[in-house]
Structure 1
Amino acid sequence: MFSYEGMMRINTALRSVYRLAYLNLLWLATTVLGLVVFGIGPASYAMAAYIDGWFRRGQTPPVTRAFFGHVRTQYWRSVAMGVILSGATVIVVTNIFSVGTWLLQFANIVALAVIAVIAAYVFPVMAATDVRGIPRQIAAALMLGVGSLHWTIVAGAVVAGLVWLLYACALPLLVLFGVGIPAAAVGFVTRIVFGQLSASDAQTSPSPRARETSRTHLHLARGTTE
Structure 2
Amino acid sequence: MPNQGVIGGFYRVSEWIMRLAYINILWILFTIIGLIFLGFMPATVAMFTIIRKWLMGEEDTPIFKLFLTTYKKEFIKVNLLGLIMFAIGYILYIDLQFLSQVSGMLQYILTAGLIIIGFFFLIMVVYIIPVYVHYDLKFFQYLRHSILIGFLSPLMTLVLGATLLIAYYLFMFIPGLIPVFGASVFGFISMGSAYFAFKRLGTRKQNSQELKETAQ
TM tier relative to shorter chain: 0.7 to 0.9
Q: Paired residue for 1:176? A: 180
Q: 1:93 to 1:30 in 2, by over 3 A?
A: farther
Residue 130 (str. 1) matches residue 128 (str. 2): no
Q: 1:22 to 1:97 in 2, by over 3 A?
A: farther
Residue 147 of structure 2: which of 125, 142, 147 is its match? Answer: 142
Question: What 5-or-longer segments of structure 1 have no aligned partner?
Answer: 209-226
C-alpha distance in 2, partners of 1:63/1:114? 33
Q: 1:19 to 1:111 in 2, by over 3 A?
A: farther
Mapping for residues 68-217 of structure 1, pairs under 5 Å: 68-100=68-100, 101=102, 103=108, 104-105=110-111, 107-131=113-137, 133-168=138-173, 170-200=174-204, 202-203=206-207, 204-205=209-210
Q: CA deviation at 1:160?
A: 0.8
Matched-pair contact (CA < 8 Å) for 1:45–1:127: yes
Q: 1:91 to 1:33 in 2, by over 3 A?
A: farther
Larger Rg: 2
C-alpha distance in 2, partners of 1:108/1:181? 30
TM norm structure 2: 0.82
Question: What 5-or-longer segments of structure 2 have no aligned partner?
Answer: none
C-alpha distance in 1, partners of 2:24/2:113? 32
C-alpha distance in 1, partners of 2:205/2:142? 20
Q: CA deviation at 1:142?
A: 0.8
Matched-pair contact (CA < 8 Å) for 1:96–1:109: no
Q: Paired residue for 1:221? A: none
CA-to-partner distance for each residue in 1:131-184, whole Å, 9 max, x for gaps?
2x221111111111111121111111111122112212x111133222223221
Q: 1:86 to 1:179 in 2, by over 3 A?
A: farther
Identical counterparts, % of pairs: 20
Q: 1:80 to 1:120 in 2, by over 3 A?
A: same
Which range moves more in the overlay, 93-102 or 155-164?
93-102
More helix by share: 2
Q: How many residues align?
A: 206
